[in-house]
Amino acid sequence: MEIEAPELVELVQDPDADVRRGAVWALRTFSPDVVLPLLRDARRTGRGRARRHALTALLAVGGPDALDNRDRAVIRRLIRFKIPAEVPAPMHLCGSWFALPTGDQAAVLDAFGLGAPEPVTMRLGGRVWNHDHHERGLPGAEHQGCSRVYVSPVLNGWTLVFGAPSADHHRIGPGGDDAYEERLRDTMLARTAALSLRFGTVHWYGTGCGDGWTAWIVAANGEIQRYYDAFDPDDQIGRPEPAEEGLLLPHEHALPDGAVCDARTVAAQASVDPGALGPHTRVEGHGVLALTACGREHGHPRGVLEI
């Protein structure tokens, strides 16, 4: 027997977490135009935990854009309260990020064509980046990986930009996956070089959490100084970075642990390693989530994340 949307909304408020989780996933298969009014009503009329569960479902089905002004204000206040006391923690790294030696957040947002920045905790920013990257293949998530970017606070003098502007992730143009990867590589090289004209030295890093991929680009004054991709080692550019000295590159013969260079190795010496953040990390300002051109057209992706 098929369960209708109103019945699922009731199950969203169930005391059992597994029941709630299943109801939320089922609601995501319905049209948001049908589901969101029901969830908003449950949010207004519910009590205690039921109201919180309805808020969670609203975010899962419609994303932040589904919230009314009152709920947005509640979440913003909570974020503002948590930012000053937050202690940096290691990030789970899977995807790509830029490192820029600047504390001028407005200049970074302008350089990447980002808009509608919202302050976030470091924890929330990192989880959004991983969430958007890993949910791209789900139904209704066509723009999951290209709508928003996490711009970190200044970490040891560097601003990190996690993700990429929407055009970098759209599979536009002729050819299959190989042609797309080549275009993406060329785009990243050109973007890093162009950014270095504005910020002096710019780094780009990439790493996979399960396939062994690792890559890095270093550009200065408009020129690519170094490019390496473990999946494309024949096309590397420039001399090894100081962080690479004495180590083998991933495509070379393996040696005992600690003898192979990767993106984190380079980042740790050349800028900052987000996988090694901690109480020792110097933090200035706060991070933001900002929308790309794609995000400004389609809105924030759906999903619930811890603040």
Three-state secondary structure readout of the chain? CCCCHHHHHHHHCCCCHHHHHHHHHHHCCCCHHHHHHHHHHHHHHCCCHHHHHHHHHHHHHHCHHHCCHHHHHHHHHHHHHHHHHCCCCCCCCCEEEEEECCCCHHHHHHHCCCEEEEEECHHHHHHHHHHHHHCCCCCCCCCCCCCEEEEEEEECCEEEEECCCHHHCCCCCCCCHHHHHHHHHHHHHHHHHHHHHHHCEEEEEEECCCCCCEEEEEEECCEEEEEEECCCHHHCECCCCHHHCCCECCCCCCCCCCCECCHHHHHHHHCCCHHHCCCCCCEECCEEEEECHHHHHHCCCCCCCCC
pLDDT digits (tens, 9 = 90+) for 15-28: 888 888 888 888 88
Question: What pLDDT does residue 146 have?
Answer: 79
Q: How many Cβ atoms from other residues are within 10 Å of residue 178's Cβ? A: 8
Per-residue pLDDT at 46 exceeds 50: yes
Question: What pLDDT does residue 267 have?
Answer: 97
Which of 37-41, 131-135, 224-228, 254-258 tops mean pLDDT? Answer: 224-228
Contact predicate 275/126, CB 8 Å: no
Per-residue pLDDT at 69 exceeds 50: yes
Contact predicate 24/9, CB 8 Å: no
How far is the C-alpha of 200 from the C-alpha of 166, rounded, in Å? 24
Question: What pLDDT does residue 58 have?
Answer: 85
**What is the model's pTM?**
0.88
More confident residue, 160 or 163: 160
Average pLDDT of 99-120? 96
Confidence category of residue 294, pLDDT binned at 50, 70, 90: confident
Nearest to 132 by CA among 51, 63, 188, 221: 63
Ranges 34-38, 71-75, 178-182, 248-252: which has the least confidence: 178-182
Which of 99-108, 172-181, 244-253 tops mean pLDDT? Answer: 99-108
Ranges 45-49, 64-68, 83-87, 270-274: which has the least confidence: 45-49
Question: What pLDDT does residue 55 have?
Answer: 86
> What's the mean per-residue pLDDT of the chain?
87
Question: What pLDDT does residue 1 have?
Answer: 40
Confidence category of residue 227, pLDDT binned at 50, 70, 90: very high
How far is the C-alpha of 216 from the C-alpha of 93, rounded, in Å? 14
What is the crossing angle of helices 49-62 and 5-12, to 10°? Answer: 130
Contact predicate 279/253, CB 8 Å: no
Question: What pLDDT does residue 253 have?
Answer: 66
Per-residue pLDDT at 179 exceeds 80: no
- Quote the Cα angle for 54-129-53, to 5°: 10
